[in-house]
Structure 1
Amino acid sequence: SNNRSHREDTIRNGAFLCDQDIVAQRTADAVRNLDLLERWGVNFRRDSTGLPLVSKAMSHSKPRVADAGDATAREVQKTLEEQCMRYGVVRRGDHLPLSLIHSNQTVHGITVADMINGRILSIQSKAVIIADEGFEGVLSHGSIGIGMDLALQAGLPLRNMEFMHTTPLGITDTNLILPDGLLSAGATLHEASGADLDLGDETHASICAAVAQANQAVIDARHLGDNSDWWAGVFRMVKQRTGIDMSKQTVAIEVRPSLSIGGIAIDEHGRAVNGAWSRWFTGLYAAGDAACSGFHGVSVMPGNQLLDAIGGGLAAGEHAGEWVKSRNLSGSNVAQEEEDRANADFSAMCGTQDDAVIRVGSVATKLRDASRQALLGARDAASLSHSIEDLEALSVTAESIHLDQHSLIANTNLVEISRIQAGIRLVRAATQSALAREESRGSHQRSDYPEQIEDLLHHTTVDQTGATSTLGLRKGSTGNWVLPPQ
């Protein structure tokens, strides 16, 4: 099918801060990737003809989003795990990544903590693909991806860290977020009094604005009809956590951040871009939420997160698979040095402390509060500078977190400390990037620069020292705009 409307919807939703060749490629491959998942076994909802049922979601101008109700993520995860087993992919979920092994802007492998055998290892490789989570978990004591922090510490600048995707479907007074698909299934938004919310053109921005401006917005999912069976898991979870039966009651909702957009800048092959499109951090790739592919711009349309993860993962895997055929393993001396350094760092953490003991929980709470101050709402230069100072002080504190367990075997305390320290560095990078972007665009709002400035229609990059720079937007594959900025 023609992907023109999908790509144009995506570019508009991203406030034109998208790399348009990436948008064109991802949307052109959407039907093929949907077909691939279906043939592998994902059980999508069906229409009366037996084809996958597509629905119209926020910011989509026509029905095009297919799902499996609240089981979409679970179905896709299960199916991809089955493919890993089919092709003999070895998965090491018990290895904690510690650092990238690199020299001269080239990656040679990774150091890890083996939590089954209780030792630190250096693993040499010809290429590394970072494909874990984003860092939105800093705002809610959630999970924090380590991958993009590994790249940041290796000297790679991160892109567009100042942007966070928001959802209008956060359940008030909880950390629960309802899936966007509920609205496509027939759920409606109202004031608590029952009055309908004015959703405008039903784009993501207009729906978020309507919910934010309401006295108390609620979602009504009592009349989903046959669709309700597909969302039984969400209904059950909400009742367990809040006591509210969504089949009989409305639920109070609010706008809140749900996904980090920034990350490792990549090109169309998933290669990690090192400050300019012509420079590759050789051997390093990224995909998924750890990557910033340029597909989303300032906001993520429903369905596009999964589409980007699949398309980006495919591109990175295919290119890396071909590229390593002509490469040899390298950097054995560097690998040994990194392993020795990691062992020394762990030994230092296990040493005795003369000062007051600092626990990971207290630092995690301080990180959450500092992140909300730095990343949410309308900010100005003074507040951002103050947040950077707070985060730098918190970073020093985090280096002194007490390690309760001195064995590497099943050391979840070390995992949590690593995530908290990574989260602090990533939030600091996001704040520095926000300070550099002197305009308001999407979720990035500056009270001292309230207007959107077209001269700033470019990507922002920030490195581990806090130095910021810019990266130009990519046009279509022909060198022309797919959709000219408006």
Structure 2
Amino acid sequence: MEAWDIIVIGDGPAALRSAAQSAKHGAKTLLISSSALGGGDNSALDGLAAPIQEMNNRGHREDTIKSGYFLCDQDIVASKTSSAIDEMNHLEKSGVVFSRDSKGLPSTHKGIGHNSPRLVDAGDASIRDIQQVLEEQCMKHGVVRRSDQLPVMLVETNQKVDGIVTLDMINGQFVAIQTKALIIADGGFEGLFQGTSIGFGMDLALQAGMPLRGMEFIAKTPLGVANSKLTISSSILGYGASLCNASGDALSADTMTDLCEVVLESGPAVLDGRDMGDNKTWWSSVFRTVKSATGVDMNKFTIGLENRVNQTIGGIPTDEHGRAVVGSWARWFTGLYAAGDSACSGLNGAGTLPGNRLLDSLSGGNNAGTHAAQWVKTQSFANTENIVNMLQSCVDNHHITGDQESAETVRRIGSINSKLLDIATKFTSGPNSAEELSNYLAELSTAAEVAQTIHLDQTSLVANTNLVAKYRMQAGIRLLTCSIRSSLARNESRGVHKRADFKDENPELIHHITVDNEGNVGTLALRKGQKDNWVLAPQ
């Protein structure tokens, strides 16, 4: 059986940052991805928020707390925003070429919800360039990376990590891997609302008994390109593009959440990039992609937009070190860490601030990788017998329904995915009442039962994309169920969470809500600043 000090699940900025840091500090590190390597994620879409033109991080942390509608963990906000410039410097020294101002310094612009210019980016190359330099850091520090490894079980004993079981899609077999620490960093579940992929790690933790936090908060952007799956970075608005209604009137708001409401009320919105001048060179790839997907030339015409889910805020609750906490801040699911969109770190509360998503991935990955590497030095591998038993359980319980006799009598993946997307769309389309939320849960329960009898055309375990889609769909059902249960427990409207039967904020609900796989609802106290004082008191 293979044994590694640290296993990282994922292949985006959070996972790569975690893996590179853990290996840099001496840990034997394995990074696995359920798909091909290099795909990354969209956490760098809006660039990085860093107060490089400010005296300190005070403005950044206060804008973050306000955009989070006072449900952020304020000491963690202070810590992460203070690390933003270091994270930017790390990227720049590693090779990311940020757009520059006339003095040759990284150019900053004022994003939605920011009261000062502090967004830095590389135009539409941000995702690609940041992914590339972080991959190079992993290679530099000796991280072993493997593709097509589907994580199917987190093996634990009394909430202490023993290892994981994966499905090796290359060789077509289940594999048990022992580890001292596991870092989950393969993203959130926003793809569920777009009919695309989601991360598996969050669901692994959920099935292992880990309650998830903040699952009711699902953020949107008004920059989804209509009639396509394209989403444009909000950073383009800092380069001269404008967001308008159909009459050409400019649309603006103090937060991204409020801007989505403005767009919804104003009717169809458009993006006008015709007057960007020389700044178009930083967004030439977006112009080409939009034209290819829609036929619209953004040099000559406006492009239609729509509100679209782009980030799930909830996830595995973590502390300042990236450790997964259970029930209270003092209780750790020993050996389990999370970073990026897989984690609910406390940086984002009930809403998001552009540029903080990447900051959370980088800072969270750095913290998790560094702490895990130091922690595993004093640990030994544990409970090998349990891992062997769980591997055998996966092998024994695995069954593919693919015989010809059943092909006409059982459901296929497409039909359940369509139902899942329909429920997800209704859930995020507007304020929901308790009755509506309960109906969604009933529909999901039925979908979960039907999903057990899914017919797969592929019966081999080698490169079985049907099987991956089935696992993803079942994970999506569990995560969406968690999200709706969490929404049902939050009897208020706050930030991106809207209830039709509780339209106002409730000051008694200034705490986090957790939900486990059995439907048990709990709470987690909000963290204040140093010495238990508010950084910014709730208003």
TM-score, length-normalised on structure 2?
0.88
* Counterpart position of 1:213: 265
Q: C-alpha distance in 2, partners of 1:429/1:206?
A: 25
1:381 is the counterpart of 2:434: yes
Q: Is the 8 A contact 1:144 1:420 kept in 2?
A: no
After TM superposition, the structure 1 = structure 2 runs for residues 64-463 of structure 1, keeping only pairs within 5 Å, are 64-197=118-251, 199-200=252-253, 202-347=254-399, 349=401, 354=406, 356-463=409-516
Query: Is the partner of 1:38 in helix, strand or coil?
Result: helix
What amino acid does structure 1 have at the position aligned with 2:193? L
Give me the whole-angstrom Cα distance separating, in 1, the residues matched to 2:388 and 2:405. 28
Q: Distance in 1 between matches of 2:267 and 2:149?
A: 47
Query: d(CA) in 2 for partners of 1:257 and 1:289?
Result: 14
SS in 2 for 1:91: strand
SS at match of 1:55: coil
How many pairs were matched up?
A: 484
Contact 2:433 2:499 in 1 (8 A): yes
Matching residue's letter, 1:262: G
Cα distance in structure 2, aligned partners of 1:111 and 1:352: 30
SS at match of 1:378: coil
For 1:430 and 1:280, locate their aligned partners in 2 and report how far apart those are by CA, in whole Å: 23
Contact 1:98 1:150 in 2 (8 A): yes
How far apart, in 1, do the equivalents of 2:203 and 2:258 lie? Answer: 33
Q: State how 1:37-76 maps to structure 2 within 5 Å.
A: 37-76=91-130
Q: Counterpart in 1 of 2:59?
A: 5
Checking the alignment, whether the CA contact within 8 Å between 1:375 and 1:431 is kept in structure 2 is no
Q: Aligned partners of 1:482, 1:352: CA distance in 2, in Å? A: 63
Structure 1: gaps spanning 5 or more residues: none
Call closer, same or farther: CA 1:91–1:350 in 2, change over 3 Å: farther
Report the CA distance shift for 1:327/1:397 in structure 2 as closer, same or farther (over 3 A): same
Deviation at 1:349, TM superposition (A): 4.9
Contact between 2:400 and 2:459, CA under 8 Å: does it hold in 1?
A: no
**CA deviation after TM superposition for structure 1 residue 118, in Å:** 1.4
Shift of 1:17: 0.4
* Contact 1:45 1:69 survives alignment (8 Å): yes
Name the stretch that deviates more: 343-352 or 293-302: 343-352
CA drift at 1:348: 5.6
SS of residue matched to 2:377: helix
Look up the equivalent residue of 2:510 and give its one-letter code: L
Counterparts of 1:80 and 1:194, CA distance in 2: 41
Matched, 1:466 2:519: yes
Deviation digits for residues 167-189 of structure 1 (CA, Å, limit 9, x no counterpart): 01112232221111111111112
Q: Distance in 2 between matches of 1:457 and 1:360?
A: 40
**Separation in structure 2 between the aligned mates of residue 303 and residue 477 of structure 1, nearest angstrom:** 25
Query: CA offset at residue 404 of structure 1?
Result: 2.1
- Counterpart-to-counterpart distance in 2, 1:298 and 1:397: 33
Give distance in 1, aligned partners of 2:329 and 2:346: 12
CA apart distance, 1:193: 2.3
Q: Retained in 1: the 8 A contact 2:219–2:309?
A: yes
Query: Which 10-residue stretch deviates more, 186-195 or 86-95?
Result: 186-195
- The separation in 1 between residues aligned to 2:443 and 2:180, in whole angstroms, is 39
Inter-CA distance 83–206: structure 2 relative to 1 (3 Å threshold): same
> Residue 475 of structure 1: which of 509, 518, 528 is its match?
528
Within 2, Cα distance between the matches of 1:53 and 1:348?
A: 54
Q: 1:25 is matched with which residue?
A: 79
> Structure 2 CA distance, aligned partners of 1:195 and 1:403?
51
Maintained 8 Å contact 1:264/1:272: yes
The offset of 1:374, in angstroms, is: 2.6
Give the counterpart letter for 1:368 in structure 2: L
Residue deviations 1:44-94 (CA, integer Å, cap 9, x gap)? 111111111111100000001100001101111000011111111111112
- Please state whether the residue corresponding to 1:257 is helix, strand or coil: strand
The secondary structure found in structure 2 opposite 1:277 is coil
What CA distance in whole angstroms lies between the structure 1 residues aligned with 2:299 and 2:258?
A: 26
Q: Does the 8 Å CA contact 2:225/2:306 hold for their aligned counterparts? A: yes
Distance in 1 separating the partners of 2:339 and 2:298: 36
1:342 and 1:252 mapped to 2: Cα distance?
Answer: 47
**Cα offsets for 1:412-446 (capped at 9, x unmatched):** 11111111110000000000000000000112111
Amino acid at match of 1:85: M
Shift of residue 207, structure 1, vs aligned partner: 2.2
Q: Distance in 1 between matches of 2:315 and 2:255?
A: 25
Indicate the RMSD between aligned Cα atoms, in angstroms. 1.3
Letter in 2 for 1:224: M
On the 8 A contact 2:114/2:353 being kept in 1, the answer is: yes
**DSSP-derived class of the 1:109 partner:** strand
Distance 1:70 1:63 in 2: 19
TM-score, scaled to structure 1: 0.97
